[in-house]
């Protein structure tokens, strides 16, 4: 089974998943801090990631994902929405964007307060 690795200032975790698993499902399996404000229905952009390796093995982007990414911050050629991109046969490494990490911390205020108190989360765009 392919492996998915998630990296961010707060994450460096990896999980093996069956082909066809979305990146968001993989994140939930391994506890990666990937935001998902709309619950994975392509109605926000808080699951935005940059794919560092394995981009070509992911599922094709549908128009809905491209339209939603138009509203995301700091979109790059390697950008995908975690709830829409499905893993293929290759290993994948993704970087969780500031936008996504911030959304995750919005959904987990006790963790945000603890990280801010420890100086480990200065806020989006400040690292
Ligand atoms: S979780 Fe909202 S678009 Fe992916």
In the predicted structure, residue 6 carries a pLDDT above the cut 90: yes
- Residue range 91-102, pLDDT digits in tens: 999 999 999 999
In the predicted structure, residue 16 carries a pLDDT above the cut 90: yes
Q: What is the mean pLDDT of residues 29-46?
A: 96
Residue 120's pLDDT is: 85
In the predicted structure, residue 126 carries a pLDDT above the cut 70: no
Map out the domains of the chain as residue ranges.
Answer: 3-117
**3-117: CATH class:** alpha beta
Look over the chain and give the mean of its residue pLDDT values, rounded to a whole number.
94
Is residue 13 lining ligand 1, measured as CB closer than 6 Å? no
Kind of pairing between the strands at 3-8 and 92-96: parallel
- Residue range 62-104, pLDDT digits in tens: 999 999 999 999 999 999 999 999 999 999 999 999 999 999 9
Phi then psi dihedrals of residue 63, to 5 deg: -60, -40
Q: Give 11 Cα–ligand 1 centroid separation in angstroms.
A: 19
Query: Measured between alpha carbons, how far is residue 83 from residues 35, 43, 46, 123 in Å?
Result: 10, 10, 10, 23
Is residue 40 lining ligand 1, measured as CB closer than 6 Å? yes
Q: Give 124 Cα–ligand 1 centroid separation in angstroms.
A: 18
From CA 123, how far away is CA 116, in angstroms rounded? 8
Residue 114's pLDDT is: 93
From CA 4, how far away is CA 57, in angstroms rounded? 12
121: pLDDT confidence band, cut at 50, 70 and 90?
Answer: confident
Tokens of 94: 């993704």
pTM of the model: 0.93
Q: Give 46 Cα–ligand 1 centroid separation in angstroms.
A: 6
């Amino acid at each position: 089974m392919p492996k998915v690795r998630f990296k961010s200032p707060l994450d460096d975790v990896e999980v093996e998943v069956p082909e066809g698993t979305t990146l968001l499902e993989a994140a939930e399996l391994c506890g990666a801090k990937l935001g998902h404000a709309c619950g994975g229905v392509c109605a926000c952009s808080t699951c935005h990631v940059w794919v560092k390796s394995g981009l070509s093995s992911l599922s094709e982007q549908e128009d809905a994902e491209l339209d939603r990414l138009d509203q995301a911050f700091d979109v790059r050629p390697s950008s995908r929405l975690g709830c829409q991109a499905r893993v293929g046969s290759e290993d994948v490494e993704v970087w969780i964007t500031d936008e996504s990490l911030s959304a995750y911390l919005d959904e987990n205020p006790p963790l945000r307060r603890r990280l801010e108190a420890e100086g480990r989360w200065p806020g989006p765009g400040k690292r």
